């Protein structure tokens, strides 16, 4: 099947909406919420109301995260270009406005992408419209997601959750939290399942919020679960523990969330590139695409290099989403997009600070903020090193025991 990366025309209105939200709602308040970490951006309520209206009218809105595309059988060669592609593009546009605020958009949580990846049709019906954060990381581990210690014990028609989760993005604002916990520790990683837990629920306590380098508009919470009872139907996907299949079930989550984070990096990098272009032009440096980069001023040659890295990140991210929409396994490409875009986001935004000099380093522009904001996109949902490890394992055909 040939890959068609032309953006479907049906997304045009949606892209425009997300871009307008990014430019007209986010940008004017970017600095305000960077300086006022932990304050709730009330302006997002208006946006949430707008999305509710769009959802009711049958349009996705910029808040639709990680859809699975439609599930109809299609003739061979059909290009679905559905829900994942749409979420990715929305995420890029909103992050072009402000990635911290983007992470605070109601219904756009990383947990929403997790639900879209793993939920059954009934669960999609039940949880498709909640605002979900994602809670994997614990005090005892970060990268090694198989080391989950939180437990979910079955008791009749309920599960009882116990454990502590740290660094939960949108953890104090989202209506729900997708929590990874083990249903039977003696069965190892295969017993790790994800559960949808309402945030305002007996046994759920938001302990505190982190103070951070970047994405300060986004809340990052420590959450404790103590004898928290939820209906058994809140376990996402199949409750069966298949020791042979191992970790596959919950890990599918990352096939959706990694391209989503890559898209955020693509969005913030584009913001920096545009600002840098205008700074260079103000300094009298024109970017000439008809001449070899090596024949142009060093700053221009560097700009062209950054832009080509950005283009590669953009295309790899679209490819990962396109594959998901066309039901082609995309774990390798999801990690590749995250590795490339995460690295490029950091590179572009930091180089932009450097090349823009005083304008880049001071608070006169948002360049220094974007350099701080982009760093997390190369850390959460799997660090740069972890993505490279996963890619190497897949390319070389090695298991996690063979290549650590």
Task: Determine the interface stretch with ligand FAD among 38-46, 52-60, 87-95, 134-142 (rule: CB under 6 A).
Answer: 134-142
In the bound state with ligand FAD, the residue whose beta carbon lies nearer, of 86 and 169, is 169
Select from 79, 149, 162, 383 the one that contacts ligand FAD (CB under 6 A). Answer: 383
179 sits near ligand FAD (criterion: CB under 6 A): no
**Three-state secondary structure readout of 8-69:** CHHHHHHHHHHHHHHHHHHHHHHHHHHHCCCCCCCHHHHHHHHHHHHHHCCCCCCCCCCCCC
CB proximity list for 118: less than 8 A, separation 6 or greater: 194, 236, 237, 249, 250, 252, 253
By the 10 Å C-beta count (0-12 exposed, 13-18 middle, 19+ buried), 212 is classed as middle
Q: Contact 367/349 with Cβ under 8 angstroms?
A: yes
341 sits near ligand FAD (criterion: CB under 6 A): no
Distance CA 104, CA 209 (A): 14
**Minimum separation from the CB atom of position 299 to ligand FAD (A):** 31
Task: Determine the interface stretch with ligand FAD among 93-101, 112-120, 161-169, 225-233 (rule: CB under 6 A).
Answer: 161-169
What is the b/e burial string over 271-308, where b = at least 16 CB atoms within 10 angstroms of the residue's CB? bbbebbbebbeeeebebeeeeebeebeebbebbbebbe
**Minimum separation from the CB atom of position 380 to ligand FAD (A):** 4
Distance CA 315, CA 303 (A): 18
Tell me phi and psi for residue 205, to 5 degrees. -130, 125
Task: Determine the interface stretch with ligand FAD among 154-162, 245-253, 288-296, 378-386 (rule: CB under 6 A).
Answer: 378-386
**Minimum separation from the CB atom of position 109 to ligand FAD (A):** 8
Q: Which helix (H) or strand (E) holds 359?
A: helix 331-361
Cα 344 vs. chain centroid, distance in angstroms?
A: 16
399 sits near ligand FAD (criterion: CB under 6 A): no
134 sits near ligand FAD (criterion: CB under 6 A): yes
Residue facing ligand FAD at closest CB distance: 142
**Three-state secondary structure readout of 188-254:** HHHHEEEEEEECCCCCEEEEEECCCCCCCCCCEEEEEEEEEEEEHHHECCCCCCCCCCCCHHHHHHH
51 sits near ligand FAD (criterion: CB under 6 A): no
Select from 14, 137, 253, 337 the one that contacts ligand FAD (CB under 6 A). Answer: 137
Distance CA 356, CA 349 (A): 11
Q: Contact 5/318 with Cβ under 8 angstroms?
A: yes
140 sits near ligand FAD (criterion: CB under 6 A): no
**Minimum separation from the CB atom of position 220 to ligand FAD (A):** 5
Select from 130, 389, 390, 391 the one that contacts ligand FAD (CB under 6 A). Answer: 389
In the bound state with ligand FAD, the residue whose beta carbon lies nearer, of 219 and 325, is 219
**Minimum separation from the CB atom of position 53 to ligand FAD (A):** 28
In the bound state with ligand FAD, the residue whose beta carbon lies nearer, of 300 and 341, is 341
- Give the binding-site size for ligand FAD (rule: CB under 6 A): 21
Region 206-245 residues binding ligand FAD, contact defined as CB under 6 A: 212, 220
Q: Annotated active-site positions, please?
A: 381
Select from 46, 71, 140, 143 the one that contacts ligand FAD (CB under 6 A). Answer: 143
In the bound state with ligand FAD, the residue whose beta carbon lies nearer, of 183 and 390, is 390
User: Which residues are at the interface with ligand FAD (CB under 6 A)?
Assistant: 110, 133-137, 142-143, 167-169, 212, 220, 376, 379-380, 383, 385-386, 389, 404
């Amino acid at each position: 099947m040939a890959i068609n990366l032309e953006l479907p025309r049906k997304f045009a209105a949606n892209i425009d909406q997300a871009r307008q939200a990014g430019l007209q709602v986010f940008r004017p308040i970017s600095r305000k919420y960077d300086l006022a970490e932990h304050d709730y951006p009330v302006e997002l309520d208006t946006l949430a109301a707008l999305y509710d209206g769009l959802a009711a009218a049958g349009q996705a809105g910029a808040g639709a995260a990680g859809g699975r595309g439609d599930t109809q059988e299609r003739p061979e060669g059909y290009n679905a270009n559905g829900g994942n592609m749409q979420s990715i593009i929305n995420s890029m546009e909103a992050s072009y406005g402000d990635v911290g605020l983007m992470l605070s958009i109601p219904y756009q949580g990383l947990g929403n992408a997790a639900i879209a990846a793993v939920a059954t049709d009934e669960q999609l019906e039940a949880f498709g419209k909640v605002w979900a954060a994602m809670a994997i990381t614990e005090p005892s581990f970060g990268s090694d997601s198989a080391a989950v210690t939180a437990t979910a014990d079955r008791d009749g028609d309920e599960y009882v959750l116990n454990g502590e989760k740290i660094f939960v993005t949108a953890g104090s604002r989202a209506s729900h939290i997708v929590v990874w916990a083990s249903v039977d520790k003696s069965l190892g990683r295969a017993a790790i399942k994800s559960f949808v837990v309402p945030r305002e629920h007996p046994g759920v306590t938001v302990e505190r919020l982190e103070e951070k380098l970047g994405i300060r508009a986004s809340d990052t919470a420590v959450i404790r679960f103590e004898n928290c009872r939820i209906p058994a139907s809140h376990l996402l996907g199949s409750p069966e523990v298949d020791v042979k299949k191992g970790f596959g079930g919950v890990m599918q989550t990352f096939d959706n969330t990694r391209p989503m984070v890559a898209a955020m990096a693509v969005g913030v990098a584009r913001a920096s590139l545009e600002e840098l272009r205008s700074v260079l032009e103000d300094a009298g440096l024109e970017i000439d695409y008809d001449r070899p980069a090596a024949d142009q001023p060093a700053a221009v040659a560097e700009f062209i290099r950054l832009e080509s890295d950005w283009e590669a990140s953009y295309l790899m991210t679209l490819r990962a989403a396109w594959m998901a929409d066309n039901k082609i396994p995309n774990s390798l490409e999801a990690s590749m997009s995250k590795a490339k875009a995460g690295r490029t986001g950091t590179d572009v935004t930091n180089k932009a600070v450097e090349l823009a000099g005083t304008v880049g380093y001071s608070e006169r522009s948002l360049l220094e903020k974007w350099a701080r904001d982009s760093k997390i996109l190369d850390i959460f949902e799997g660090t740069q090193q972890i993505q490279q490890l996963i890619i190497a394992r897949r390319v070389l055909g090695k298991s996690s025991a063979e290549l650590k």
